[in-house]
């Protein structure tokens, strides 16, 4: 079982790793202004708010999460290539819509499958699988920077992403069949019924809020850090390496430190630590830090992203029954990370145009707000 999950996560994160750092640059090359880049990225995230719960509910109701994931990956591969075939304006917007809808299940469904397998009798180690994916992201980000430099255009990452996602679709179909049965009742299978059952849980509601603040604070980083670094004269190779450093910290947390942090600090303490790290990281980056300071700030990504993510998975593994696993993952990703990220990406374009990298101050403020809220989460894992 472990090798098949490892293959899926490695291929997925290779695909995300080549695309994520340079997608804003591709959009700019296709004629989008900074505000339009923010609009496109924010719109994509907003669309996923609605598409992710639907995909999760379909996967839970049919008992076919692997097939739903494979179809989504194939759709994502086709739609991402269209970015390089259209100019700015309405056509670029339409491509963004198609790509957002296709990629909506690609985030929550692999996690739902892996968390479900981790809770099963064979106890798949989620940290190992997710850490392997993060390591693949490092390699892909570094290779993407070199590929862009060699090709002379960021459009090369579109082809790399599409090929890797096609391979990931095949890997998804080779996963072991989940040991669950479809939700039998149309009422409970509906998105509304599943969502209501989860939102009645106060612990889940607080987790959504805390995750939204901490994970959403990465919006300005995801949308405009690369553009800001390019404007500062940092080359594509160095940008790829900086991006990779952040994911190297993810690997360390997923493989080695995550369980220790949860065991010592609990979910609440781990999320509070992640928020405090975000406050420090974004404050430093708002000062237009030199490369020497960007290096340690990028390493804080292991706390701001990975540690908080593992804490959230620990909560979901306990709260969500197997038959609602896909819905719970999709709901957290949409109402938590997705909703906050969509709003903040829309605001980030205007922030970047007005104050450049000073927009990171707003992200730091979100993390400051998350610290006391996070401490209200459970004191211990599980």
- Chain mean position to CA 277: 18
In this prediction, residues 182-195 reach a mean pLDDT of 48
Is 126 or 151 the better-scoring residue by pLDDT? 151
Handedness of CA 85, 154, 132, 367 (dihedral sign): negative
Report the alpha-carbon distance of residue 202 to residue 279 in Å, rounded.
26
The answer to whether residues 119 and 317 touch, using CB atoms and an 8 Å cutoff, is: yes
Report the alpha-carbon distance of residue 137 to residue 211 in Å, rounded.
22
10 Å CB burial of residue 179 (0-12, 13-18, 19+) is: exposed
pLDDT tens digits, 330-346: 778 777 777 888 788 77
Report the alpha-carbon distance of residue 352 to residue 348 in Å, rounded.
6
Q: Provide the pLDDT for residue 50.
A: 76
Indicate the length of the chain as a whole number. Answer: 382
Q: Which among 348, 353, 245 has a CA at the least distance from the CA of 291?
A: 245
Domain ranges of the chain: 2-172+201-374
SS3 of residue 333 by DSSP:
helix
Q: Which among 111, 167, 129, 178 has a CA at the least distance from the CA of 329?
A: 111
Cα distances (Å, whole numbers) of residue 163 to 66, 76, 167, 168, 188 = 19, 10, 7, 9, 37
Tokens of 248: 């190297």
What's the DSSP call for residue 152? T
Where does the pLDDT of residue 14 fall: very low under 50, low under 70, confident under 90, or very high at 90 and above? very high
Q: Which among 56, 54, 51 has a CA at the least distance from the CA of 324?
A: 56
Lowest mean pLDDT among 172-176, 225-229, 262-266, 359-363: 225-229
Q: Which among 48, 23, 83, 67 has a CA at the least distance from the CA of 227?
A: 23
Where does the pLDDT of residue 382 fall: very low under 50, low under 70, confident under 90, or very high at 90 and above? very low
Roughly what angle, to the nearest 10 degrees, separates helices 90-103 and 65-82?
160
The answer to whether residues 20 and 158 touch, using CB atoms and an 8 Å cutoff, is: no
Handedness of CA 46, 47, 48, 54 (dihedral sign): positive
The answer to whether residues 59 and 105 touch, using CB atoms and an 8 Å cutoff, is: yes
Is 81 or 197 the better-scoring residue by pLDDT? 81
Cα distances (Å, whole numbers) of residue 190 to 6, 8, 48, 178, 184 = 31, 28, 18, 20, 11
Report the alpha-carbon distance of residue 323 to residue 326 in Å, rounded.
8
| Rg of the chain taking only CA atoms, in angstroms | 19
Residue 186 pLDDT exceeds 70: no
CATH 1.20.1250.20 fits 2-172+201-374, yes or no: yes
Q: Provide the pLDDT for residue 11.
A: 96
The answer to whether residues 220 and 366 touch, using CB atoms and an 8 Å cutoff, is: no
Report the alpha-carbon distance of residue 24 to residue 92 in Å, rounded.
13
Q: Provide the pLDDT for residue 347.
A: 87
Taking all residues of the chain, what is their mean pLDDT, rounded to a whole number?
83
Tally of CA atoms within 13 A in the half-sphere of 80 that contains its CB? 30
In this prediction, residues 347-370 reach a mean pLDDT of 91
Q: Provide the pLDDT for residue 119.
A: 64
What DSSP string runs through 93-148?
HHHHHHHHHHHGGGTHHHHHHHHHHHTSTT---HHHHHHHHHHHHHHHHHHHHHHH
pLDDT tens digits, 307-330: 999 898 888 777 765 566 667 777
């Amino acid at each position: 079982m472990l090798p098949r999950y490892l293959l899926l996560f490695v291929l997925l994160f290779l695909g995300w790793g080549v695309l994520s750092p340079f997608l804003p640059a591709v959009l700019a090359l296709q004629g989008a202004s900074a505000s339009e880049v923010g609009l496109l990225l924010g719109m994509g995230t907003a669309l996923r708010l609605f598409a992710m719960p639907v995909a999760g509910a379909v996967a839970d109701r049919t008992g076919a999460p692997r097939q739903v994931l494979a179809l989504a990956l194939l759709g994502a591969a086709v739609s991402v290539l269209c970015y390089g075939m259209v100019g700015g304006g309405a056509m670029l917007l339409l491509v963004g819509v198609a790509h957002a809808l296709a990629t909506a299940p690609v985030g929550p469904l692999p996690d739902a499958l892996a968390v479900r397998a981790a809770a099963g009798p064979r106890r798949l180690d989620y940290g190992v699988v997710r850490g392997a994916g993060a390591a693949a992201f490092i390699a892909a980000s570094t290779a993407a920077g070199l590929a862009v430099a060699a090709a002379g255009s960021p459009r090369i990452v579109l082809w790399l992403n599409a090929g890797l996602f096609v391979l990931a679709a095949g890997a998804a179909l080779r996963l072991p069949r989940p040991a669950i049965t479809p939700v039998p009742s149309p009422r409970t299978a509906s998105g509304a019924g599943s969502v209501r059952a989860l939102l009645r849980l106060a612990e889940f509601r607080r987790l959504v809020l805390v995750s939204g603040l901490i994970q959403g604070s990465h919006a300005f980083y995801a949308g405009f850090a690369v553009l800001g670094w390019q404007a500062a004269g940092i080359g594509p190779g160095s940008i790829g390496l900086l991006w990779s450093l952040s994911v190297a910290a993810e690997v360390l947390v997923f493989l080695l430190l995550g369980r220790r942090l949860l065991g010592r600090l609990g979910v609440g303490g781990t999320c509070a630590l992640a928020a405090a790290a975000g406050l420090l990281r974004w404050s430093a980056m708002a000062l237009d830090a030199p490369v020497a300071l960007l290096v340690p700030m990028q390493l804080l990504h292991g706390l701001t992203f990975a540690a908080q993510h593992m804490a959230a998975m620990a909560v979901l593994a306990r709260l969500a029954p197997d038959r609602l696993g896909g819905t719970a993952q999709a709901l957290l990703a949409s109402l938590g990370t997705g909703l906050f990220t969509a709003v903040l990406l829309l605001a980030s374009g205007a922030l970047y145009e007005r104050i450049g990298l000073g927009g990171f101050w707003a992200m730091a403020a979100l993390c400051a707000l998350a610290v006391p809220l996070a401490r209200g989460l459970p004191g211990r894992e599980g």
